[in-house]
Amino acid sequence: MTTSLSDAVAQTERALLGSILFDNSVCRQNDGPSVGDFSLDSHRRIYALLADMLENGQPADPTTLTAELDRTNQLEQCGGVAYIGRLIDDAMPKSFASYVDRVRTAAIERKVTRQVDALKATCVSVSRNKLETIRGQVQQLNELIAPDALQRDNWRTLFHTYEEIVNVPPVRFAIEGFLQEEGITLIGGLAGHGKTLAMLATVRALLEGGKLFHHFQVNQPAKRVIYLIPEAGLGPFLTRLRTFRLLDYVQDGRLFFRTLSAPGSLSLADSRLLDAVNGADVFLDTAVRFMVGDENSASEQKMFADTLFGLQRAGARTITGAHHSPKSFGKDSYMTLENVLRGSGDIGAMLCTCWGLSQINAATNSIFIQNVKPRDFQPCEPFIIQGRPSIDQTGYFELTHPPGTAGSLGDSKAHAGRPEMHNKDDKIRQAEKMHAEGKTVREIANAIGVSHGSVGGWLRKARPVQ
């Protein structure tokens, strides 16, 4: 008589269960299957109860198992006393690992069969979302038949091994102290305060090597840069590429970009994009343009974070995104993660680094930059870069105030708000002369074109004002 495949699987499951009853230590020494791997409901019940008994320190043998099944009103559903007693007849504890592999393999084969049947049913169905459903089913099928599918069913593969953690390198930077690898970096600031310019400066540094802002060393030049800017047209963005001398990198195939002018829309989960980002440095300008829903929603931000983590899993070396600050930030004299990034605040949790930007002088495009979130490293002090006229002349920002010399944002804003008065010394002498001639503070201020307060201050320093 020929034994059917299902009979052979059931016999293997009986041998596995019997081996546990014969020698409880096989479960402690080996990774067992999951409850769902068993083909028969009775075997699923028996294995689940055995696992509970062993976990609670109870001895598990045919007698104690029978008593426990009877206590939980499952004995008859599991074959009765005689069936439980015969489980050890084919037990062979030395073959336990082999039994586990065969049970897991059979479980995967059953899942594949069910998935294929579901796919067939979808193919002949009439549905508005038919193609999307097929796409999802095919993806699940691919996961089931992947070479590592059997290992993935082992719960221990969910966690890092000791060998992995002892060999893991320390935190790495693509740009030392500024752009961290294997993490997400956001650059936050108000609209028009230089986020895109700072990101393009970073792109140039990554592509050519050297130092970003003449200070931060590029440790390893980029193999490929992906720049996505869905809120700018091709023409305006091309002007900026020329300004930063980046067109040669487009020509030699190291810089790829996509603007508002490109047809259609692009999801960050697009399989073609996931292939492109492997080994690349990715820039999202602005990052929120790739978020679905309300940026103030914690659940939407979680989904957005998962999408960005998908780029990491696809192999992106670095991910940098521009993000808008709330309008109220313009009145602040300090920087924190909360006032630099607009939204619910949950977005900050996924970051390894966040740099806050604030333009302190529009005429020279001077930008105050401060790290408001470092993860696992000591950030530099705030610094100030200047864009005019150097960007137009060379394609580089100038570092006017290196880290440690910029002070606070409040200091920089106060200084920027009080430009040096032209011919100040001459006006002070003129004010003192007019005052000596009997002119009032108001008359002097109106005559030389300065404020009443400035005149009063000058005169008080010279001598008391009557």
**CA 443 – CA 77 distance, rounded (Å):** 106
283-329: pLDDT as tens digits? 999 888 887 666 666 666 677 778 888 899 889 999 999 999 988 99
Predicted confidence at residue 372, as pLDDT, reads 94
**CA 1 – CA 3 distance, rounded (Å):** 6
Q: What angle do CA 405, 409, 415 make, to 5 degrees?
A: 80
Predicted confidence at residue 281, as pLDDT, reads 97
SS3 252: coil
Q: How many CA atoms lie within 13 A of 105 on its CB side?
A: 11
Other Cβ atoms closer than 10 A to 19: 24
Measured in degrees and rounded to the nearest 5, phi and psi for residue 57 equal 80, 15
Q: Are strands 281-284 and 225-229 parallel, antiparallel or unpaired?
A: parallel
Predicted confidence at residue 466, as pLDDT, reads 42
Which residues have a Cβ under 8 Å from the Cβ of 51 and sit 6 or more positions away? Answer: 27, 32, 35
Other Cβ atoms closer than 10 A to 370: 23
Q: Which residue in this structure is represented by tokens 């049947």?
A: 117
Predicted confidence at residue 228, as pLDDT, reads 96
Nearest to 325 by CA among 291, 359, 279, 351: 359
How would DSSP label each residue in 287-331? GGGG--S-TT-HHHHHHHHHHHHHHHHTT-SEEEEEEEPPGGGGG
Nearest to 344 by CA among 285, 286, 303: 303
Residues lower than pLDDT 50 in the chain: 1-3, 417-418, 464-466
What type of residue sits at position 430? Q
Distance of CA 67 to the CA centre of its chain: 52
